[in-house]
Chains A and B, each alone.
Chain A
Amino acid sequence: TQLLEQSPQFLSIQEGENLTVYCNSSSVFSSLQWYRQEPGEGPVLLVTVVTGGEVKKLKRLTFQFGDARKDSSLHITAAQPGDTGLYLCAGGQGGKLIFGQGTELSVKP
């Protein structure tokens, strides 16, 4: 069974701080997606990375795919209360996605 381990599981920070969330696996994935989910809603796609070493930026969010396509990171600069939510990484394997358990982020004003 392929697993994706996310860390940390919980993160509570003050507005303006920077943070990094990690997503690690022993398996190689064809692609890796990052999603953000709010309570009672479905996950919303933030980014897809497919090439080892790829870096993508989305405003204050920076996503990186490891060279070996087994791990990824999400870095948020100057976090804001609106960034609060559950962040999920998901690896593509065949047709399905394998999800990590998520990182619950709380940004306090």
Chain B
Amino acid sequence: DTGVSQDPRHKITKRGQNVTFRCDPISEHNRLYWYRQTLGQGPEFLTYFQNEAQLEKSRLLSDRFSAERPKGSFSTLEIQRTEQGDSAMYLCASSLSGGPVGNEQFFGPGTRLTVL
């Protein structure tokens, strides 16, 4: 069983550049989530998909952020015109809707973004 994977693990970019992150969920999971975590805080929800449908977006997800899951498998999160305030750990998680035990979400290792 390969868990949730994310690529890249680290990204350093200059302010104003665009970045894209990829997440591959656990293969049998139909739900995929994106969270953002800053130092000293718990993760904050950004958005989630069930299969290819984006079901919910947080108000944190400004119009510079876009997420896709075109075939209901992997997902990408793009940030356009990055700002220093976008520096954070971006976490992806996946789950199986209707699973036997609550809303168990399994997280990937995260992508650490640093905007200079």
Interface residues of A (CB under 8 A from B): 4, 30-33, 35, 40-45, 48-50, 88, 90, 92, 94-102
Sample of 15 further A-B pairs with CB below 8 A, known A31-B101, A42-B110: A4-B42, A30-B103, A32-B102, A33-B102, A33-B103, A42-B91, A42-B107, A42-B108, A43-B91, A48-B104, A49-B102, A88-B42, A95-B33, A96-B56, A101-B41
Tell me the total A-B contact number using a CB cutoff of 8 A: 77
* Interface range for B: 20 to 34
Query: Can you offer 26 A-B residue contacts whose CB atoms are under 8 A?
Result: A4-B42, A30-B103, A31-B102, A32-B102, A40-B110, A41-B109, A42-B4, A45-B104, A45-B107, A48-B104, A49-B102, A92-B102, A92-B103, A94-B56, A95-B48, A95-B50, A95-B56, A96-B33, A96-B45, A96-B56, A97-B45, A97-B103, A101-B40, A101-B42, A102-B41, A102-B42
